[in-house]
Amino acid sequence: MSDSSNHQDSASSNTKSQQGVQVHYRSDYKPYPYDIKDVYLAFDLAPNATIVDTTLTIQRKADADNQAPLCLDGVDLELLSIAIDDKELDQSEYRLIEDGLEVLNVPERFTLTTKVKISPDTNTSLEGLYLSSGKYCTQCEAQGFRKITFYPDRPDVMSTFKVRIEAVADKFPHLLSNGNRIEHGEIEGGKHYAVWEDPFKKPSYLFALCAGDYDLLTSSFTTMTGREVRLEIYVDKGKLDQCHHAMESLKKAMKWDEEVFGLEYDLDTYMIVAVGDFNMGAMENKGLNIFNTKYVLASPDTATDTDFIDVEAVIGHEYFHNWTGNRVTCRDWFQLSLKEGLTVFRDQEFTADQTDHGVKRIEDVKVIRSHQFAEDAGPMAHPIRPDSYIEMNNFYTVTVYNKGAEVIRMYQTLLGRDGFKRGLDVYFERHDGQAVTCEDFVRAMEDANGYDLQQFRRWYSQAGTPEVTVSSNYDADKRQLTLSFTQSCRPTPGQEDKEPFHIPVKVGLIDTLGKDIELKPVSLTDSDARVEGDIVHLKSAQQSVTFDDVPRNVIPSILRGFSAPVKLHYDYSLKELIFLFANDSDSFNRWQAGQELFSRVIFDLCEQQEKGGTLRFDDSVVSATKNLLDDNSLDGQFKSLALTIPGVSTLLEQTNSINIDHLITARDFLKKQLAEKLELDWLLHYQTNRHLGDYEQDKESVSKRALCGTCLGYLMTLEKDSAYQLALKQLETANNMTDASIALQLIVHSNYEQKLKVAEDFYQKWQSEELVINKWLSIMATDPSDETIDRIESLLDHPSFELKNPNKVRSLIGAFTSANPRQFHRADGRGYEYLARQIKSLYAINPQVSARLTGAFNRWRKFDSERQQKMRQQLEVILSMPELSKDVFEIASKALK
């Protein structure tokens, strides 16, 4: 196929490492010299020959150079005609350049009309306009609009859009675009048309078009000022009964944003279209969100409790973008975290309000620790506001999104909830309708609160995870406790030395009875850290704070609620960790104490393996586990999280180099020991929490299911027939996907003899439910046994697999590389070879998804020299692939640097 991302530049040498890839820099920003007053687009939809007629009303900006050429972006477009003020241009009046078009000597005001031909049917990149499963769909963020028509495809060019769509009526009864439908009708030849107008100015990345034959769920919402908004969800035929949860989630999100932030919806209709082939989760196009089916469809028999929460969260996320993203958008793509960090923060708060704040906080931090810390420590490390990119799609990262959300959360910690809201009010007052920068956001926060955020700005400019080391010193005579802090941050690519961050560290002091004592900070020297309430403000490399009136044997609880995205080091004794695990009033730190306890045992077991002794660990870890399991005051979901041993990727980020075999063995050993020693306890809790009646979805039922899953997981490690029977029975009798999928996973990941038969039966039962089959693919791919590598090879030819569908690729290949460490990191290197071969088949089809997969090699430097060598070799294989997409090139070449 013609590959949009092939930037082979004829003038440059054709060695792979310098294939003319262009690096874009934040510092190069220049305003666009023209205003696009309005846009009229007319689509005549046809699979291989869609015609797009574009009319732009253009005016040169007053301060722009009057010689400035008009530069438009365009990729994979066949230009059929071009005219200015209705006069056709001849070849000398414009130039087709690589990925665009230049018109010289344009007047000050004019209309430009272009006609292009595109081919949605062969567009497998799922970017721009594409046809899949018989429906047309668009994805324009970040730079997909240039695959639809010639246009200044950058977020700071904002305009009002009017869109006419015409297509065959029987196949495409619904013709949708942004805003309001102002006209529609029949045309001859079995075709029909619709005209849409969006009254809000928007950048091109928020444009959307959908055409197809859908089932439609409608409802309505009355806003806080009494306006009636029509809500519509469009899905594949036959899926209507799986849309109700999405609809309820949308209404909750609309209400929540009004109540919490005073933000109201602004159009008459809010549409959501669910599509099966989509590169990401969902997209916030103005008035016409497009969603991956995974984040819309949910019914108890096909979706897990986690899926239900994810649907609600993503529906919320896209809805919240209407203010944080659409009404106020980004000046350029380096500012992406301006809308994404803020909107992730908002969706996290929304979910927390709908579910449980403590549990939600733990879930969010798990993502930071396992994924974001890894990114920050690897070759792709970048600040939440990156300084450069080769392919923007590679910067939709956990750093920009999730670390970005942590940075927003810190404003709330520093300024208080009210101060934070005041800051947002100023931000909207100043910038509604504009395309702005992260700096504008900081300034709004500063001005609204009279708070100096100068040093805080370093969170935007410096990459890497700060490390905070704390030690304590108790003066029994003075009854004073001093905490001494140091902070540092390792070098990241292009940033050797870092300046200290402003880090808010939330602390508590716990007495021997397990109660928090009152904090009475005293300032001894000028360099002491400032304390406000329970927040210690770290601002320099070394600082301390002293507390008065502290009884003996108090234990500090530091970084409560994960008040900053840092790694904390404090030398707790095993006893202290166990005490915190049983007593900390901060549920995040209570969970954290358990995680640290388990990690400590695991790394200790790794050392024992190096030395070659028999493996053992302290019995107090077992009793601590039992005590938590038996604590009736705790919610089941919290227990389930607290009793889950840290995953391999989280553990990997706690060490600089590791013997992966030892790590996995240690982790399995710990789990199996806890299973054996507490067998009756796991069984008892399994049985008392197992609910056999009708399916319920209230918080308590969800909690019980979660805890049962955890208990069953421990029991299954015993490899006993009694455990297998329990799991089989749960699978057979399950009246919901939560119970069914965890049982299936535990069976498939065990050594149960008949496991393949069980897997096959499950497949047969669910083969018509694509989303369930995707779970099945993941479960197959994450089986830790040695046969998995052959099995996932043949699954590539399985009827359920489809290389062109990103959900399938993520379920099979992505799950294997990210959630099956034992097999991906096979000593024989077959896991690595498998991945490289899949990238080879995929990069020309879907560059974005291929680049994501390539990232699995990012942490290669952590491993033993044989594995390092094998991973490096595959990265080199990837880089030698002909006409490699720049997406994959960027990831692979940075990994080797």
- In whole angstroms, give the CA distance from residue 738 to residue 722: 21
Q: Is 866 a catalytic residue?
A: no
Q: State the catalytic residue, choosing from 127, 312, 318, 653.
A: 318
393 binds, among ligand ARG, Zn ion, none (CB under 5 to 8 A by kind): ligand ARG
Helices (H) and strands (E) in the chain, counts: 29, 33
What one-letter code names the amino acid at 717? T
Nearest 5°: the CA angle 286, 291, 293 is: 160
Rounded to the nearest angstrom, the gap between the alpha carbon of residue 16 and the centroid of all alpha carbons in its chain is: 31
Tell me if 489 sits within 8 A of 465, measured CB to CB: yes
Window 340-379: residues binding Zn ion (CB under 5 A):
340, 343
Measured from the CB atom, the residue of 389 and 501 that comes closer to ligand ARG is: 389
Applying CB under 5 A, which part among 46-54, 180-188, 336-344, 535-543 lies near Zn ion?
Answer: 336-344
Angle between helices 244-261 and 336-354 (to 10 degrees): 100
349 binds, among Zn ion, ligand ARG, none (CB under 5 to 8 A by kind): none
Tell which one of 77, 271, 280, 759 touches ligand ARG (CB under 6 A).
280
Q: Write out the two tokens for 577.
A: 């960790």
Window 139-168: residues binding ligand ARG (CB under 6 A):
141-142
Applying CB under 5 A, which part among 251-259, 286-294, 337-345, 387-395 lies near Zn ion?
Answer: 337-345
347 binds, among ligand ARG, Zn ion, none (CB under 5 to 8 A by kind): none
Applying CB under 6 A, which part among 98-106, 278-286, 491-499, 774-782 lies near ligand ARG?
Answer: 278-286
Measured from the CB atom, the residue of 144 and 521 that comes closer to Zn ion is: 144
- In whole angstroms, give the CA distance from residue 893 to residue 402: 25
Smallest separation (angstroms) from ligand ARG to the CB of 318:
6
Bridge partners of residue 146, in order along the sequence: none
Smallest separation (angstroms) from ligand ARG to the CB of 45:
23
Rounded to the nearest angstrom, the gap between the alpha carbon of residue 376 and the centroid of all alpha carbons in its chain is: 15
Is 137 one of the binding residues for ligand ARG (CB under 6 A)? Answer: no
Tell me if 93 sits within 8 A of 102, measured CB to CB: no
Measured from the CB atom, the residue of 205 and 714 that comes closer to ligand ARG is: 205
Applying CB under 5 A, which part among 59-67, 338-346, 520-528, 624-632 lies near Zn ion?
Answer: 338-346
Tell which one of 76, 153, 166, 284 touches ligand ARG (CB under 6 A).
284
| Residue showing tokens 């009526």 | 169
327 binds, among Zn ion, ligand ARG, none (CB under 5 to 8 A by kind): none
The answer for 570, left when phi > 0, alpha when psi is -120 to 50, beta otherwise, is: beta
What one-letter code names the amino acid at 305? D
Smallest separation (angstroms) from ligand ARG to the CB of 394:
9
Applying CB under 6 A, which part among 64-72, 277-285, 593-601, 688-696 lies near ligand ARG?
Answer: 277-285
Window 321-350: residues binding ligand ARG (CB under 6 A):
340
| Residue showing tokens 């005016």 | 59
Return all residues near 582 (Cβ < 8 A) that are at least 6 apart.
Answer: 514, 624, 627, 628, 631
Count of CB atoms situated within 10 Å of the CB of 47: 12
Return all residues near 681 (Cβ < 8 A) that are at least 6 apart.
Answer: 626, 629, 630
Tell which one of 75, 140, 283, 290 touches ligand ARG (CB under 6 A).
283
For the chain, what percentages of helix, strand and coil (3-state, to nearest 5) are there? 45, 20, 35
Is 589 one of the binding residues for ligand ARG (CB under 6 A)? Answer: no
Smallest separation (angstroms) from Zn ion to the CB of 616:
48
Measured from the CB atom, the residue of 340 and 349 that comes closer to Zn ion is: 340
Bridge partners of residue 50, in order along the sequence: 118
Tell which one of 172, 270, 389, 396 touches ligand ARG (CB under 6 A).
396
Applying CB under 6 A, which part among 282-290, 505-513, 603-611, 723-731 lies near ligand ARG?
Answer: 282-290
Q: Collect contacts of 525-531 with beta carbons under 8 A, ≥24 apart.
A: 529/485
Measured from the CB atom, the residue of 338 and 708 that comes closer to Zn ion is: 338
**Burial class, 27, CB count within 10 angstroms (exposed 0-12 / middle 13-18 / buried 19+):** exposed
- In whole angstroms, give the CA distance from residue 77 to residue 64: 28
280 binds, among ligand ARG, Zn ion, none (CB under 5 to 8 A by kind): ligand ARG
Query: Which residues are near Zn ion by CB under 5 A?
Result: 340, 343
* Residues engaged in binding ligand ARG (CB under 6 A): 141-142, 280-284, 317-318, 340, 393, 396
List residues with catalytic annotation. Answer: 318
